[in-house]
Structure 1
């Protein structure tokens, strides 16, 4: 079933998404590439940088996460970084070609305290640099989302991680509905939504399709959908999970692109183990955003120089900051 028309659908049926996901891989990639070029600039990729501004010590039990306090993973916990350290990192990212700067804090939820006030100040300062500023801070309520918006926050990341059915196998310290509620609060505040998931968590293909269905049937599609491959970390319950196949990543990316044509689909965690050829296939299938820089919070990631060389080889160019806000609506 094709989506080669100008309408953006939010009424996808599960069977439709399943049919797309299971298409022969080359046929799927061709369709995704066509949808991508109809709705996006094909040679353009958004370059994002993610900085952990508060690391480790998280009370959650996410089975994949090295920052959970209950797991022995060798991650050294540190409190909130100084403003100067964050601004220096943002400057380096901007100079290297990033147009979105995301700050992550290992919190279960935002609390109305001095640390949150400091994060709001960081948001304002990074926004003043001309970067799209994003945060991932755990759960937020409506009031906190409003404060982030007023400070200049452009986007908020809160991943679904997996399907609702598989969620309790991965996380027990919060509910799937908590994820959805935070996304609703962010959307109501007028902040761009960044929400995707992780594959390789022991989920079934059905779980992957169900997660895509939740994203594709939101009243408004997330402006950004990260597709992560699990990076197994010693000391976590998922340390022995096998590496996700690049073909599985391509199916996720292509299905996301077809069902959410205007969304930025981000090739995220797991990219460090991919060859340039594998990444090129992901771009062809509709990925048009990456994280660049040597770390994604606490896991390895290709550095800026490697990515610049890949962009030159593939004829890709960085997307400008605030592009959607600067362009007239279609």
Structure 2
């Protein structure tokens, strides 16, 4: 049963179950889906890197922090298309394009992003963008270009949010998610574990996501990647049991959602990642970079899939492909 009115008390009761009981329940729910062994493989391309005016305490792309990230302007269309082709050939069914912007602006760069969306869509790949805040009109333009998903993470609970970010509000986050949803885009939204938050904050974040109606199409669960030069560089490594607990709880709360085991996999062994898949994760980012942070390469992930008996999920699984074709393409064919 899909439920959208989870209370904090209900979620806390699930989250705090003995770990093996929690994993068993999540695994049982996950296996009610006949495609439980399929894992969506996404690739993340940083189409514009660094120089962001925000102060997200975890992010090496913030201009105010001294990190090893070099600032790069928006990539040429041809480069993005070639990288998307390489990702598809390696097994990805979705490409997410990320730009280190505070918000989308109606300018030539946004027009170029729309062309990128159209070009990758023509490759029959699901196209996702994470570009910062956007308004309703911009969301519609992305939808018309053939965008499948918009990523905008809530990061943590509303109560803890200001401890991590002060240059935008939690309401700003939710407004962008709503604008994407109203334009007919699927929503990708999750958070980060290891920011110094409490278990109550983690439960609060899951409450926000699980009370969206419909649930997000995709929920990334990230383990903080500690980057030298950022305010959170000295945070302790996230214990694997914390990641498993978050993934399992998300799977129980949102049984049809794609739960993505995202950042932090380079610090996980194969067996630890297997625990996450057992607990209900059914998506990963593949490729050697997640924007600017390290990630396992395709070869290692394909070996892991072979060992665990997992299979890549095809693009637009159980989705009407025509709904996400560029508007101008549909009009030309009509």
Structure 2: distance between partners of 1:161 and 1:17: 18
Structure 2: distance between partners of 1:117 and 1:37: 42
Aligned residue among 44, 47, 52 for 1:53: 47
Q: Which residue of 2 aligns with 1:39?
A: 33
Structure 2: distance between partners of 1:65 and 1:213: 24
- 8 Å Cα contact 1:256/1:265 also seen in 2: yes
Q: Which residue of 1 aligns with 2:113?
A: 119
Aligned residue among 167, 174, 179 for 1:180: 174
Q: Which residue of 2 aligns with 1:27?
A: 21
Q: Which residue of 1 aligns with 2:226?
A: 232
Aligned residue among 287, 301, 324 for 2:281: 287
Q: Report how many residues are paired.
A: 321
Q: CA offset at residue 42 of structure 1?
A: 1.6
Structure 1: distance between partners of 2:68 and 2:34: 41
1:215-294 paired onto structure 2 within 5 Å: 215-294=209-288
SS at match of 1:209: helix
Q: 1:80-135: CA deviations, max 9, x gaps?
A: 00111100100000000000000000000000000000000000000000000000
Would the alpha carbon gap of residues 40 and 181 (structure 1) be closer, same or farther in structure 2, given more than 3 Å must change?
farther
Q: CA offset at residue 248 of structure 1?
A: 0.2
Structure 2: distance between partners of 1:39 and 1:309: 24
Of 37-46 and 17-26, deviating more is: 37-46
SS at match of 2:31: helix
Q: Which residue of 2 aligns with 1:213?
A: 207
Give the TM-score taking structure 2 as reference length. 0.95
Structure 2: distance between partners of 1:98 and 1:219: 28
Structure 2: distance between partners of 1:138 and 1:39: 33
Aligned residue among 286, 296, 299 for 2:290: 296
Q: Which residue of 2 aligns with 1:131?
A: 125
Q: Which residue of 2 aligns with 1:315?
A: 309
CA RMSD of aligned residues (A): 0.8
Structure 1: distance between partners of 2:211 and 2:319: 23
Q: Which residue of 2 aligns with 1:4?
A: none
Q: Which residue of 1 aligns with 2:70?
A: 76
Structure 2: distance between partners of 1:220 and 1:40: 21
Unaligned 5+ segments in structure 1 are 1-6
Structure 1: distance between partners of 2:259 and 2:290: 17
Structure 2: distance between partners of 1:238 and 1:294: 23
Unaligned 5+ segments in structure 2 are 322-334
SS at match of 1:227: strand
Q: 1:213-241: CA deviations, max 9, x gaps?
A: 00001121000000000000000000000
Aligned residue among 5, 15, 18 for 1:11: 5
Q: Which residue of 2 aligns with 1:202?
A: 196
Q: CA offset at residue 39 of structure 1?
A: 3.2
Aligned residue among 91, 96, 107 for 1:102: 96
Q: CA offset at residue 326 of structure 1?
A: 4.7
Q: 1:249-289: CA deviations, max 9, x gaps?
A: 00000000000000000000001110000000000000000
Aligned residue among 306, 325, 328 for 2:319: 325
Structure 2: distance between partners of 1:78 and 1:143: 27
Q: 1:33-76: CA deviations, max 9, x gaps?
A: 01111135121000000000000000000000000000000100
Structure 1: distance between partners of 2:320 and 2:283: 18
Give the TM-score taking structure 1 as reference length. 0.96
Q: CA offset at residue 169 of structure 1?
A: 0.4
